[in-house]
Chain A
Amino acid sequence: MIKLEGIHKYYGAGEGRVKALENVSLEIERGELVAVIGMSGSGKTTLLNILGCMDEPTEGKYYYDDVDVTELTPHQKDMFRKKHIGFVFQDFALLPQYTVYENIELPLIASNVKRTERKRLITDILRQLGIEDQRDKLIKKLSGGQKQRCAIARAIVNGSELLLADEPTGALDTKNGEKIMEIFKELNSAGKTVIIITHDMKVAGTCKRVIEIQDGSIKRF
């Protein structure tokens, strides 16, 4: 499903050039639950951004279902991201001025889903994640665990098959962190490919496979 070949990523140019990833190659099959671990600054988030088409590699090839993503135009990459990928961030990345419902609605609006269908999908996902009673609350009134559930709901409401989570439990207490990991496992069991960036070995231990990055290179595959 996902294949990276010789991915390099550098920021800046000339003497000020900083290496983020160096010659990263890996393969992830559909339906896997993968943890990417590494120290801070090791290149985990850069890898996630490249996988999610939020950033472009300086060198190398990225294949998704045999499609060469690196060859796509910027607009095609945007469309690819819209169709296939959902994101969950450590700080939730929710729009605080909107309600839970409105935040979850964003990907559906981007995909031109009709209002009645949007309502049905959001109601289902809210129920699935146990936050249906928070539907009309503003984000700032939610607890950390509720916010992360909301972020997960937003990431999967559009039917994305690849879920990319950047330190999803980093801002949560242990109990809520465990609950969120349970949700990821359930989603994985339902067929979604989940890639979790973390530096927490406990979290990594709950995943089926662990990839370790050190100084921008894959150390453990």
Chain B
Amino acid sequence: MLLLRSRTVIGLLGIAGVACLLVCSFGEMYIEITYREKIINEIISVQHKDLFFVKQDYISPDDENIGERENAFFSELSIEPGIILSTLLKVNDRIAYGEDGKTVDVYSLYTDTEMLRICGIKGEYKAGDVIVGSRLKGILKEGERITSLGREYTVVAFSDENTKVVPTSIYSSPEVCFEIDNALVILNTDGVFGTGADVYMEITEDADLSAIKAKIAELNKKYNVGFTLQNIDDALEIIRDNKMKSANDKVVIVYFAVLMAVLSVATMNMVDVLSNRREYGILCSCGYTKRDLSKIIIIEDCLIFVIACFAAWTIRGVMLQYEKSVVKGMRLDIHYRYIHGYNMAFVIFCIFLSSISAMLYLNRRSPSDLMREMN
């Protein structure tokens, strides 16, 4: 009924809108974290424990010979029966396929076990076979032999558009998948950034792990590179830690931003009440009680936050629609399904928090004080 504070409503709306957008982002981030955590757990449940990673622990220096040195490192490492993929491919490599030599970029590397599960392929297949993504379905046929990087493969299956490939990207299924020996190469055709991949290898049961580690350390020195050996649990733990660390940083930023927004709204509420003291005094003289005034503040703040939330929700929705059109994925569904319940509760809490100072001020002043101070 009474928007006494029309002078600052736009300012309040702006601040509240920013806060709500941040809260939306917070909710989305929360969902993403839990979703990724779920994926990591799924990987653990399907992977066999003797799968190891040779993890690259350094950023390749910008020198011309680093590629050669890395190749030499893996050639000399030569652990049977593991195949060191990076001797063939690395993330961001560009490879040609098909007769016309169309090129695609590598954006992730997966183990075959994982890809078999992902693509839902059962039964036997042997090294040298290839699973091809939906984009090449019209070009290649099952059983057809293809050549890539000088190696020959047989097409054994196709992933389809509904194939859910999630371990490193929740955006979309890969368009093209090549299986190379014991691992799969997921090729990027959409320009989505790869999330990086390590080199997978299998180690025979009787292999001496400490000897392999010692060998890696020795070769690191020899070729001036920095690789380490980890098993799947270690690797996933590191992934999880990195994700959580990154998420925690975001959480701190979001909390800080929301805190600042609440403080800003609270300050603007106070400024508003101070600049409208006489109006509040007049309302008291008209029969409004202090409780009525508190109600007015709360109702106005609710109105402001609801409008801001709606605006934030709309803006975020439009942004996600755009994002969906770019990445062709399921992220939007996640957003709509989970976010707003938590956020609305949080926003309601913020409303009360930001209204308290103004309400306390009014409650501690007599009506004549309120009337007098503006005179």
Contact = CB atoms under 8 A, between A and B. Distances in A.
Interface of A: 49, 52-56, 74-75, 78-79, 81-83, 87, 89, 93-95, 97, 106-107, 109-111, 154, 158
A154 B367 CA distance: 17
A87 B368 contact: no
Interface string B331-365: 00000000000000000000000000000000000
Contacts of A52: 285
Given A54-B366, A109-B1, A81 B287 contact: yes
A56 B366 contact: yes
Given A87-B286, A93-B285, A107-B286, 13 more contacts: A49-B368, A55-B367, A55-B369, A78-B288, A81-B285, A93-B282, A95-B279, A106-B288, A107-B287, A109-B1, A110-B286, A110-B288, A110-B289
Contacts of A81: 284-285, 287, 367
A53 B371 CA distance: 13
Contacts of B278: 93
B292 interface: yes
Contact of B287 (A55, A75, A89, A158): A158
A16 to B, nearest CB: 17
Interface in B273-293: 278-279, 281-292
Contacts, number: 60
Contacts of B292: 110
14 contacts: A54-B371, A55-B368, A79-B289, A81-B287, A83-B287, A93-B281, A93-B285, A93-B371, A106-B286, A107-B286, A107-B287, A110-B286, A110-B288, A110-B292
A72 to B, nearest CB: 12
A74 B290 contact: yes
Contacts of A79: 289
A97 B2 CA distance: 11
B290 A54 contact: no
B285 A54 contact: yes
B281 to A, nearest CB: 8
Contacts of B1: 109
A82 B366 contact: no
Contacts of B284: 54, 78, 81
Given A93-B282, A95-B282, A78 B289 contact: yes
Contacts of B65: none
Task: Name the 4 nearest CB pairs between A and B, nearest first.
Answer: A82-B287, A78-B289, A110-B287, A54-B368
Contacts of A158: 287
Contacts of A107: 286-287
B286 A154 contact: yes
A108 B371 CA distance: 21
Interface string B259-284: 00000000000000000001101111
